[in-house]
Amino acid sequence: MNYYDKASPPTHLSSRHSKHSVSPLSAAYLLHTRPLGESNLIVELITETHGRIAAVANGAKRKNSAMKSILQPFRPVLVSWRGLGDLKTVARIESPTLALPLSREFLYSGLYLNELLLRLLGKEDPQPQIYSHYHATLIALSKQQEIETSLRLFELSLLNELGHGFTLTYDNTGYPIQTDWQYRYHPELGLMSKVGGKFSGQHLLAIANHDFCDKITRNQAKALTRQALAPLLGSKPLHSRQLFARRSSHNI
């Protein structure tokens, strides 16, 4: 049985829940932790059923805590919680498997995904498709598949699920993208034909077809998703990009 089979279908929290009632188990991943007192942690999780949630993991910093070994990035978990406010309390957490094996630039790429989700997802906004794309991308990174392809596909799917997606096959007037034309990207209008534009029609169509074999296509895809994500991320730099730049010969 796949561990997802244990998770409940997506549902919104009911107003009839009391602060003491416990949610059904949900598949989840840890995105971030921060200390709370001497023995507790505040954990940020992406869950399959409720999107991003923040919860207190009581005693998780104690040496003999069972939670301590489970609360690792990139480890699939099943979690339930209680509480009605923005900050829940972890009621139960278990893991059917070890953390996915990410190392070197694949690890930094995973940290980049986590930071994107922390910055862009609202709390308790169910996003099962984003969760599914995140899980699939972690699997690809754990198998050391091509990083830039994995990241660009995730970014494009994230933009789409957040309502900021755009077509790569038509310009803002509805005219099909032409291989020998140049285009620029506008955050509100999408792709616009422009002499001397940054993006070529040929490579935009390759991106649309998920064909990243050509280096120029990969570079244009990176520039395009960065430009599309920039208004959503704001001016605060991503720590994971800085870490990746320092530790790798590539950048994200």
What's the pLDDT band for 8 if we cut at 50, 70, 90?
Answer: very low
What is the C-alpha separation between 205 and 170, in angstroms, rounded? 9
Query: Percentage of the chain surpassing pLDDT 90?
Result: 75
Residue 177 lies in a domain: yes
Residues 178 and 121 in one domain: yes
Note the pLDDT of residue 49.
95
Note the pLDDT of residue 227.
96
Note the pLDDT of residue 78.
96
Residue 249 has pLDDT above 60, yes or no: no
Residues 231 and 127 in one domain: yes
Note the pLDDT of residue 130.
97
Residue 226 has pLDDT above 50, yes or no: yes
What is the C-alpha separation between 61 and 200, in angstroms, rounded? 52
Write out the DSSP string of 97-154: SPPP---HHHHHHHHHHHHHHHHHPPBT---HHHHHHHHHHHHHHHTT--HHHHHHHH
- Number of domains making up the chain: 2
What's the pLDDT band for 235 if we cut at 50, 70, 90?
Answer: confident
Residue 192 to residues 8, 179, 236, Cα–Cα distance (Å): 43, 14, 28
Residue 12 has pLDDT above 60, yes or no: no
Residue 3 has pLDDT above 70, yes or no: no
Per residue in 203-220, pLDDT tens? Answer: 999 999 999 999 999 999
Residues 117 and 193 in one domain: yes
Per residue in 69-122, pLDDT tens? Answer: 899 999 999 999 998 888 999 999 999 888 999 998 999 999 999 999 999 999
Note the pLDDT of residue 186.
95
Note the pLDDT of residue 247.
65
Q: Is 202 helix (H, G, I), strand (E, B) or coil?
A: helix
Residues 51 and 89 in one domain: yes
Give the torsion sign (CA, 121, 127, 133, 138): positive
Q: Is 239 helix (H, G, I), strand (E, B) or coil?
A: helix
DSSP secondary structure code for residue 195 in this structure: T
pTM of structure: 0.87
Residue 33 buriedness (CB in 10 A; 0-12 / 13-18 / 19+): middle
Note the pLDDT of residue 240.
83
Residue 198 lies in a domain: yes
Residue 252 lies in a domain: no
Per residue in 135-173, pLDDT tens? Answer: 999 999 999 999 999 999 999 999 999 999 999 999 999
Is beta strand 77-82 parallel, antiparallel or unpaired with respect to 87-94?
antiparallel
Residues 142 and 172 in one domain: yes
Query: Percentage of the chain surpassing pLDDT 70?
Result: 88
**C-alpha of 139 from chain center:** 13
Residues 42 and 161 in one domain: no
Domain extent for 169? 104-247
Per residue in 15-72, pLDDT tens? Answer: 445 566 889 999 999 999 999 988 999 999 999 999 999 999 999 988 888 888 899 9
Residues 170 and 124 in one domain: yes
Find out whether 252 and 151 touch, Cβ atoms under 8 Å.
yes
Residues 211 and 237 in one domain: yes
What's the pLDDT band for 6 if we cut at 50, 70, 90?
Answer: very low
The CATH number of the domain holding residue 47 is 2.40.50.140
When pLDDT is averaged across residues 168-193 and rounded to a whole number, the result is: 96
Residues 140 and 159 in one domain: yes
